[in-house]
Amino acid sequence: MDAIIVPSARRAASLKEAGRLAEELDAVLLVLCSRHSDAASVVRALSERPKLRFTAVDFPAAGVPRLPVLDTSTVLGESRLKRRTDTSAKRNLGLVLARVAGWKRVVFLDDDITVPEATDLERAAALLGTRDGVGLHIGGFPDNSVVCHANRETGAKQDTFIGGGALAVPADRIDSFFPEIYNEDWFFLLGETMLRPVGQVGVARQREYDPFASPDRARSEEFGDVLAEGLFALFDDGGKIGDADWAYWKKFLEARRAFIDEIQSRIENREDSISLRDKHILESLNASKGRLGYIQPVHCVRYIEAWQRDRVRWRAFMNGIRPMRPGAPGETPIDVAARRFGLVPLGRPLELAPA
């Protein structure tokens, strides 16, 4: 395994786990910083680990100019369906920098994830010869959308799927990208017509949070949850991406509303009184239904079409990348890669570098 890539948004202290794993596995740690995370603070925090090789980069608020402009980032305009986070963009930058640096196998790791056994990351990377993505099982707190958390908490069985929070990918050959939408990691793992070859091994744990703390979370997730769940439901029925036409989405949107209604009814029809927790769940489900009412089949069709165009554009871009030649003495391949895209890589200060 060449590197661990963290799309960081929390303060530098949240990177202790990624630093421990990278140092233990003798892998480079690449931290892509925004929001509450900044490269200078990351450098100060990670320099406490004497053997850790790391680079931190501040992700530009306006994006990275030399990367392809993707239709999936513009097709929704400034509508309420647009996902306003930079996680996908940072992961895409990570893919590009890994390709330029000549890395072959990398692991994406979110800054709220812990991996008890570092060797689980090596086991995941070892499976990439025959798979396009290998995720760790997220134990402890489940990795689900708000609606799916509500489904589980009201007594129904709820599955999980591998995701970008702890995901090994073959950086030297993968031609997929993370679109700007909730469940972007599901889309990353889809091929031309259906799911790519993927695997799962090992265990990671996600930091617990309250999915019902704010209805805004449910609103922001709904469109991406509709698209991803809709496509995977299609696959379960033997269909392919090309079968997701206007009529299919009309039917699925009706099924989605019925699904949320069913979850709500389990709470509302209880014999005992409704708790404060139940009220928060109902508020979040109402927020999901409110956003769902805005989603039309045409939105789904247009987004999938934009995503398919972007797949072609991104593949051509990645296929045109060649690993960089070595830079100046003391400059690492990832430093060279970052500078190629106008970024400023920060690493361990020379006076703190190991002899």
Nearest residue to 60 via CA among 43, 38, 83, 75:
38
The model's pLDDT over 302-329, given as tens digits with 9 standing for 90+, comes to 999 999 999 999 999 999 999 887 666 7
The ranges assigned to domains in the chain are: 3-210+309-352
pLDDT at 328: 65
What pLDDT is recorded for position 316? 98
Give all strands (DSSP E) within the chain, no chain letters: 3-8, 28-33, 54-58, 105-109, 113-114, 133-140, 166-170, 198-206, 345-346
Q: What is the structure's pLDDT at 141?
A: 87
Q: Which residue shows structure tokens 């069913």?
A: 262
Per-residue pLDDT reduced to its tens digit, 245-300: 999 999 999 999 999 999 999 999 988 899 999 999 999 999 999 999 999 999 99
> What are the helix (H) ranges across 269-332?
276-294, 297-319
pLDDT band at 351, cuts 50/70/90? Answer: very low
Nearest to 205 by CA among 128, 110, 134: 110
- CATH 3.40.50 is right for the domain spanning 3-210+309-352: no
Tell me the pLDDT tens digit for each residue of 199-217: 999 999 999 999 999 999 9
pLDDT tops 60 at residue 143: yes
Measured torsion, CA atoms of residues 137, 139, 141, 145, in degrees rounded to the nearest 10: 20
Helix (H, G, I), strand (E, B) or coil at 319: helix
- Is residue 191 within 8 A of residue 184, CB to CB? The reply is no
Q: Quick one: pLDDT band at residue 333, thresholds 50, 70, 90?
A: very high
- Residue 313 dihedral angles phi and psi, to the nearest 5°: -65, -45
The label of the residue with tokens 């490269």 reads 39
Instruction: Provide, rounded to the nearest whole percent, the portion of the chain with pLDDT above 70.
Output: 97
What mean pLDDT is reported for the chain?
95
